[in-house]
């Protein structure tokens, strides 16, 4: 509440609560800043051996709280965030230090236990080195043997042994680190990696295809949205209103029309329609259709005649006369052809 004057009275409960919360936050920030800068106040130049008491009088003490002109809402927000981040980091550091201390303690306890067991083993006599003692101190013997082998190996051997150990740990095969099995496991994992890379490549291709299809559909949607041929006409509202009114009027007329149809059926007495009636009507229709085809064939013979009966008769008589003339001419031509080709006629002609 830095915007309020110090002597201004706060009558609003909400403003009073906000002022109390702000004052509490500033008190918390000031206490944290004092804790952070306490060591700077304690380490004066004369304590560090950098000068005498006269030089310490000229030393300016660093402030542990923000000055009055910096006490605003923005500075408070930044300082609260800094305090929260610092406390989170301190807590994480304390947890890490606790874990490291616990691990170091366990390592030290293990080393002390190993040293104690080694001393106990060295103090035993040869008669006491039986099978039970060897079983008890077998882990120490194995550790000493591994340590001796590690020291006797050259640099290349140590590098190879470390590499094989790293591979066994990475492949989760530390319990049975056989080189052949490690190689088989490594080849198998390499095959899985290649298969995963191929699948990833296919997935990338599918994603590219889906992206392209998405862009195409976006363009299509944009065309459907903004295209002039897909826009609704300006008077669509009026047409919809007219259609809605027509539908409403038709629906209102339906009961009256239904009553009229019912009364008409009662007055006329329409017989009920059955399957047999429909079949009989269909057979009668097919008979009429066959008779119509026969009549059409008969009428087709008189096609081209005039519609007047007398004129049609006259034209028919003319056609009959032409038919008789053609028949007579055909018979005469036939007789002439027969006489010309007759052999009797040929002998008669040769006789003179």
**How far does Cα 246 stand from its chain's mean position?**
46
C-alpha R_g of the chain:
61
User: Over the chain, what is the mean pLDDT?
Assistant: 78
Q: What are 56-70's pLDDT values in tens digits?
A: 444 445 555 667 777
Q: What is the pLDDT of residue 62?
A: 52
Higher pLDDT, 332 or 63: 332
What is the structure's pLDDT at 227?
Answer: 79
Condensed to tens digits (0 to 9), the pLDDT of residues 187-196 reads: 888 888 899 9
Burial group, residue 237, by CB count within 10 angstroms (0-12, 13-18, 19+): exposed
User: Helices (DSSP H) in 227-274: which residue ranges?
Assistant: 236-268
Q: What is the pLDDT of residues 25-62, one digit of tens each?
A: 899 888 888 888 775 555 544 444 434 444 444 444 55
Give the rounded distance of the alpha carbon of 138 from its chain centre: 60
Q: What is the pLDDT of residue 125?
A: 45
């Amino acid at each position: 509440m830095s915007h309020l004057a110090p002597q201004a009275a706060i009558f609003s409960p909400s403003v009073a609560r906000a002022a109390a919360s702000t004052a509490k936050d500033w008190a918390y920030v000031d206490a944290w800043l004092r804790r952070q800068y306490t060591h700077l106040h304690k380490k004066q130049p004369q304590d560090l051996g950098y000068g005498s008491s006269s030089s310490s009088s000229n030393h300016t003490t660093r402030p542990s709280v923000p000055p009055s002109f910096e006490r605003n809402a923005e500075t408070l927000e930044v300082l609260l965030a800094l305090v929260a981040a610092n406390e989170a980091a301190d807590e994480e550091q304390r947890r890490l230090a606790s874990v490291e201390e616990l691990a170091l303690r366990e390592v030290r306890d293990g080393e002390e236990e190993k040293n104690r067991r080694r001393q106990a083993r060295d103090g035993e006599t040869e008669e006491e080195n039986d099978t039970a003692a060897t079983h008890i101190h077998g882990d120490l013997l194995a550790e000493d043997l591994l340590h001796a082998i590690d020291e006797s190996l050259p640099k290349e051997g140590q590098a190879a042994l470390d590499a094989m150990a790293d591979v066994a740990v990475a492949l989760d095969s530390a319990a049975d680190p056989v080189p052949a099995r490690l190689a088989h496991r490594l080849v198998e994992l390499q095959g899985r990696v290649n298969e995963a890379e191929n699948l990833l490549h296919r997935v990338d291709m599918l994603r590219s295809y889906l992206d392209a299809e998405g862009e195409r559909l976006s363009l299509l949607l944009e065309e459907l949205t903004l295209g002039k041929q897909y826009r609704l006409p300006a008077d669509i509202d009026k047409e919809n209103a007219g259609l809605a009114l027509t539908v409403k009027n038709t629906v209102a007329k339906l009961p009256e029309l239904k009553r009229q149809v019912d009364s008409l059926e009662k007055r006329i007495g329409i017989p009920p329609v059955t399957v047999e009636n429909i079949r009989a009507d269909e057979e009668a229709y097919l008979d009429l259709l066959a008779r119509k085809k026969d009549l059409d064939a008969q009428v087709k013979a008189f096609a081209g005649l005039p519609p007047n009966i007398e004129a049609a008769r006259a034209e028919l008589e003319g056609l009959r006369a032409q038919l008789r003339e053609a028949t007579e001419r055909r018979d005469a031509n036939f007789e002439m052809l027969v006489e010309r080709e007759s052999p009797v006629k040929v002998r008669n002609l040769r006789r003179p």
